[in-house]
Amino acid sequence: MLPKFLSDKGLAPNITINPNLNYLGTETAFGFGAEVIAVENSKKFPQIFKFHVGDTGPTTPEPIIEVAIQALKNKQTKYGHFAGYPQVRENIAKYWSETRGVEIKKENILLQPGGKPVIELMFQALLAPGDKIIVQDPGYPVYESLAEFNNHGGVLRWQAHKDESPSAIAQGKILEFRVEDLEKLLVENNQVKILCLNTPQNPTGMIIGKEKLEAIAELVRKYKFFVIFDDIYDQIVFGGRKQYSFLSIPGMLDWTINLNGYSKNYAMTGWRLGFIIAPEWVIEIFGRLAINKWSNVNRMEQIVAGVIFGDVTLDGFEYKSVKDEVQAIINKDFIEYEKKGGFVSESLNLLKPYVVCNEAEGAFYLFPSFQRVLDLKYVREELKITSDVGLRDWLLYEKGIATLSGSDFGQMGAGYIRFSYAEDRNRHIIPGMKYILKVVIELIEKSGEVAPLKVEEVDERVVELERKFFT
């Protein structure tokens, strides 16, 4: 049986192919992004309001670009070190030791092209027959996709607890990852080898705090499994919160593969530059796999990876650290993310109980429930929309609003819509919120129900929130 992504396009291989391709998922943000571009190019709408993309709003800080240009002028274009030049890894190790409070050496670090490669490296290096993988649900879809591809039948889902009681709705806290649910999976299943843990999280924007992480560490000690700790958004946290690292817990460096990089914090998504922190024996295996897969991260980017944390000297050329200068720039970006997150969350909550949005805790995502909108008579009977996927498509093709459906991130995402607020505040976030509130109010009223506010009240209420967050 052909995988659907081939049969949908009428593509038929002339030889047998790997049957596990039937279980290979995708990251919908990229595929749906192409649809957004197509609708935008059709000129059907004056503007597409973009809340779908997980790219950064800011662009790469100029000091980083200047170092890259200088490296290219110095002809730093030949092969680089397969793991990352020692001085580059020492710079990363020093910074991570300082910020995590645990001794990390250069031997614990490997550069990689982006953040995703380590997910596949981990499965290839650690899984044995009968082993199981736990992924978050809802969660970043590449974890489940590659887990299913590499180990179909061995994937378990740590499902977020859903609470739709009036008090939970009032607080906007209707989803929660509970440690007791994770332990139940461990008790009921033998040979759990890997837990995939992302915080701050895509798609919800929620943070798993210190207390829960310490409780998970106790489970690691008890049941002996590895944690891939994905904190790619580690500096993008709000409300006075501090990102707490799994590495900071005594003994957890021995049980952790830390995925991090430059894409999100430093607005370098297109550079495809990341790094891995793990026990030395794991890095040794990953290094062998890296040589087989991508040889090395390019030399110019290795220099950039180093100067973000310290000075780098390579082939007689000196490159000064841009750490302090860049940190001052990105700190302003993080403040802007926090303002936009609070604005979008409170704007959507003007539609309670039809739309219930969680608090913006980190990253640049929100995961509001649209289940009451899907239950509306007009939506069900007239528009024939029965799922969050259908609502996502209708919002794009009929209203010019680009979002992602919650189901793209797991079974527990059904009825939810993911909003990214990374885009420009004045072009997308503020006018987009005004527009989507009016669209939902119209759906409520056409169903014969009373909306929480009238269409003519929207502009004034949103302007009030605009003043609150941006003035």
Arithmetic mean of pLDDT, 139-164 = 94
Element (H, E) at 50: strand 49-50
Structure tokens at 401: 């609003």
Confidence bin at 174 (pLDDT 50/70/90) = confident
pLDDT given at position 92: 98
pLDDT band at 401 (very low <50, low <70, confident <90, very high): very high
* Residue 170 pLDDT greater than 90, yes or no: no
pLDDT-derived band at 423 (thresholds 50, 70, 90) equals very high
Cβ 361 vs Cβ 172: under 8 Å: no
- Structure confidence by residue, pLDDT tens digits, 93-109: 999 999 999 999 999 99
Per-residue pLDDT for 165 more than 90? no
Report the alpha-carbon distance of residue 432 to residue 426 in Å, rounded: 9
Cβ proximity of 200 and 232 under 8 Å = no
Per the CB < 8 A criterion, the answer to whether 72 and 444 are in contact is: no
In the numeric block, which tokens belong to residue 314?
């390579």
**What gap in Å lies between CA 294 and CA 136, rounded to an integer?**
28
Please say whether the beta carbons of 304 and 64 come within 8 A. Answer: yes
Question: Is residue 127's pLDDT more than 80?
Answer: yes
> What residue ranges in 129-209 does DSSP mark as E strands?
132-137, 155-159, 161-162, 175-176, 192-198
pLDDT at 55: 87
Strands (E) located in 153-191 = 155-159, 161-162, 175-176
Instruction: Report whether pLDDT(29) > 80.
Output: no
- Kindly report the CA angle at 312 between 310 and 314, in degrees rounded to 5? 170
Mean pLDDT for the chain? 96
Reported as a pLDDT band with limits 50, 70 and 90, residue 53 is confident
pLDDT (mean) for 396-415: 96
Residue 43: per-residue pLDDT? 95
What is the set of domains in the chain, with CATH numbers? 4-58+328-470 (3.90.1150.10), 78-321 (3.40.640.10)
pLDDT higher than threshold 80 for residue 172: no
Could you give the CA distance from residue 103 to residue 58 in angstroms, rounded to a whole number?
Answer: 32
CB-based contact 201:363 (threshold 8 Å): yes
SS3 292: helix
Q: How far is CA 336 from CA 10, 260, 283, 299, 471, in A?
A: 45, 22, 36, 32, 12
Least confident window among 54-63, 176-185, 309-318: 54-63
The answer to whether residue 375 scores a pLDDT higher than 80 is: yes
The confidence score (pLDDT) of residue 279 equals 98
Q: Which of 1-5, 29-33, 406-410 has the lowest mean pLDDT?
A: 29-33
Write out pLDDT tens, residues 188-240.
Answer: 999 999 999 999 999 999 999 999 999 999 999 999 999 999 999 999 999 99
Residue 261, H or E segment: strand 256-261
* Whether the predicted pLDDT of 30 surpasses 80: no
CA distance 147 to 153: 9
Average pLDDT score over residue span 158-174: 84
